[in-house]
């Protein structure tokens, strides 16, 4: 049996995989089982922050792996303390809870919001507003938070207490807050899975004004937008606001599973011993890698991301067959005249890996992609978008 046959036989049938077996990668280059080379603009869905098998990250991870691989949270260990300090000092937040995925990071954010609101305002203040077209994860509760019926339909009943507001609709948000007992408003600053759609400045401003006036918590889901992806360290920083809670995962670990729920002043003491936990959370190997990743997301790098992003947007906006380009930084969605799936397949054929978001072609390049590779890849995408 070859790899594809074995996978089809033994792995639960949840993924529509591309017809490629990836075997080896270095930076933004990756090779399939036949030795064909690709330029990768997908980074394993915004996970490989510095590309494949980045040497500095590999060194940090293997050093820790050769020292101590796991402690459980019954003991103290250095890498998770260092990473928590780094996250707080770079954001002005106060405390961190570590987990292993985006869904888990969001679960923690939701638990914190419910507990805060119950203690402060009363148990009936348990409703969380999320946005239509959002994506927050695949557990029963984060599915409930996800404002897309297609993800819900086979898994009812979901966790109670979520209502949905149209993104960028300030009037609807005001109405929902007036007519419900709200604990928190949760949002992605750029909806990733929903089609790479940024929130407007006005809407984000309104969220924070309403939240402040009503003692409602703000939760930024930075699972995809975080860790430099949008050209700022966290996506909310594009808007000059600071949430009470943010969750992150994907790019934080640079390729190892790691989630973090980062808590601001208002909620820093909401969790107490026994109220939450995770066996693998804060794993030393994942955290040692993340310390390396985060320490390299400097202002200088972020400026480069912003400049390269501008290059991509300009080139693609003027390309034939491209209707629009949305997103921020290195999180971009291309609306194409041709079907996105066929553009992606054409790119693959010509040695460039891009992914999909709804009906768009999504680009999530490594933050350190060399300009030369980026230029080559964009030329391939432009060619693939043309009608033929």
Ligand X SMILES: *Cc1c(COP(=O)(O)O)cnc(C)c1O
Closest CB to ligand X among residues 51, 137: 137
Distance CA 23, CA 19 (A): 13
**Closest-CB residue for ligand X?**
102
Where are the strands (E) in the chain, listed by range? 22-26, 29-32, 37-40, 95-99, 127-131, 162-165, 182-187, 190-191, 197-198, 217-221, 245-248, 259-263, 322-328, 331-336, 352-353, 355-357, 360-363
Q: Strand 360-363 vs strand 331-336: parallel, antiparallel, or unpaired?
A: antiparallel
Closest CB to ligand X among residues 289, 384: 289
CA-wise closest residue to 220 among 109, 362, 364: 109
Token digits of residue 201: 């400045």
CA angle 104, 106, 108 (to 5 degrees): 75
Beta carbon of residue 121, minimum distance to ligand X (angstroms, whole number):
26
Beta carbon of residue 273, minimum distance to ligand X (angstroms, whole number):
26
Beta carbon of residue 111, minimum distance to ligand X (angstroms, whole number):
15
Token digits of residue 204: 């984000």
Closest CB to ligand X among residues 106, 278: 106
Token digits of residue 89: 């000092």
Distance CA 212, CA 269 (A): 19
Neighbours of 388 (CB within 10 A): 7
Closest CB to ligand X among residues 47, 369: 47
Beta carbon of residue 306, minimum distance to ligand X (angstroms, whole number):
21
Beta carbon of residue 223, minimum distance to ligand X (angstroms, whole number):
4
Beta carbon of residue 200, minimum distance to ligand X (angstroms, whole number):
18
Closest CB to ligand X among residues 125, 326: 326
Closest CB to ligand X among residues 263, 380: 263
Closest CB to ligand X among residues 161, 257: 257
Token digits of residue 28: 């933004």
Beta carbon of residue 193, minimum distance to ligand X (angstroms, whole number):
6
Residues that bind ligand X (CB under 6 A): 101-103, 106, 135-137, 188, 192-193, 221, 223-224, 249-250
């Amino acid at each position: 049996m070859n790899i594809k046959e074995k996978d089809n036989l033994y792995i639960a049938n949840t993924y529509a995989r591309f017809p490629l077996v990836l075997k080896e990668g270095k930076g933004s280059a990756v090779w399939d089982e036949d030795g064909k080379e690709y330029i990768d603009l997908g980074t394993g869905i915004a996970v490989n922050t510095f590309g494949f098998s980045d040497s500095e990250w590999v060194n940090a991870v293997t050093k820790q792996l050769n020292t101590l691989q796991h402690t459980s949270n019954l003991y103290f260990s250095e890498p998770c303390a260092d990473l928590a300090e780094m996250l707080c000092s770079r954001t002005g937040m106060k405390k961190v809870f570590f987990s292993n995925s985006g869904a888990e990071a969001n679960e923690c954010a939701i638990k914190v919001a419910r507990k805060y609101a119950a203690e402060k305002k009363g148990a009936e203040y348990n409703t969380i507003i999320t946005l239509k077209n959002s994506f927050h994860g695949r557990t029963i509760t984060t599915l409930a938070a996800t404002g897309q019926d297609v993800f819900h339909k086979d898994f009812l009943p979901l966790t109670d207490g979520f209502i949905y507001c149209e993104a960028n609709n300030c009037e609807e948000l005001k109405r929902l807050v007036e007519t419900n007992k709200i604990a928190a408003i949760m949002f992605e600053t750029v909806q990733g899975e929903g089609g790479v759609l940024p929130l407007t400045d006005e809407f984000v401003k309104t969220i924070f004004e309403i939240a402040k006036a009503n003692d409602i918590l703000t939760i930024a889901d930075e699972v995809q937008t975080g860790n430099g992806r949008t050209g700022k360290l966290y996506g909310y920083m594009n808007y000059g606001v600071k949430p009470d809670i943010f969750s992150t995962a994907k790019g934080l670990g640079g390729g190892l599973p790691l989630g973090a729920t980062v808590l601001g002043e208002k909620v820093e003491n909401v969790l107490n011993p026994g109220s939450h936990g995770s066996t693998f959370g804060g794993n030393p190997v994942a955290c040692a890698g993340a310390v390396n990743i985060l320490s390299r997301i400097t202002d200088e790098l972020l400026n480069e991301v912003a400049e390269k992003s501008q290059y991509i947007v300009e080139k693609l906006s003027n390309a034939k067959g491209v209707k629009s380009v949305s997103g921020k930084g290195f999180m971009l969605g291309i609306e194409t005249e041709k079907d996105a799936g066929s553009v992606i397949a054409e790119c693959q054929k010509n040695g460039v890996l891009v992914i999909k978001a709804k009906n768009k072609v999504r680009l999530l390049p490594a933050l350190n992609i060399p300009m030369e590779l980026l230029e080559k890849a964009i030329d391939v995408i432009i060619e693939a978008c043309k009608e033929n």
